[in-house]
């Protein structure tokens, strides 16, 4: 199914961008949560890891438009749930 701005969910996530970050970085986000990182610190860590400051202007503008779509609250919440489940198991 192609992505459109009208989709309210993408594979159970708010949008395709959030889903993609989930697929590529959830293990990293879970580790950051274990290490005590807060939401803004998680987002900053991923941003730096991607090397956005090294992108050319056009690339950084495209990246910024996608970055705004990421639902960090849900990603960190899900990572926190996953980490809590590990503690119980």
Q: What is the pLDDT of residue 2?
A: 52
Distance (Å) of CA 76 to CA 5, 71, 79, 82 = 23, 9, 5, 10
Residues 4-54: pLDDT tens digits?
555 567 888 899 999 999 999 999 999 999 999 999 999 999 999 999 889
Rounded to 10 degrees, the C-alpha dihedral 74/34/38/64 comes to -60
Q: What is the pLDDT of residue 8?
A: 61
Q: What is the pLDDT of residue 1?
A: 44
Sequence spans of domains, the chain: 16-88
């Amino acid at each position: 199914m192609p992505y459109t701005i009208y989709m309210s969910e993408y594979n159970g996530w708010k949008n395709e961008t959030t889903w993609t970050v989930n697929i590529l970085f959830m293990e990293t986000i879970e580790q950051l949560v274990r290490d005590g990182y807060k939401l803004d610190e998680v987002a900053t860590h991923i941003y730096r890891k991607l090397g956005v400051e090294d992108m050319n202007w056009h690339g950084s503008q495209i990246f910024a438009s996608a970055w705004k779509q990421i639902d960090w609250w849900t990603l960190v919440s899900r990572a926190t749930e996953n980490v809590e489940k590990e503690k119980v198991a």
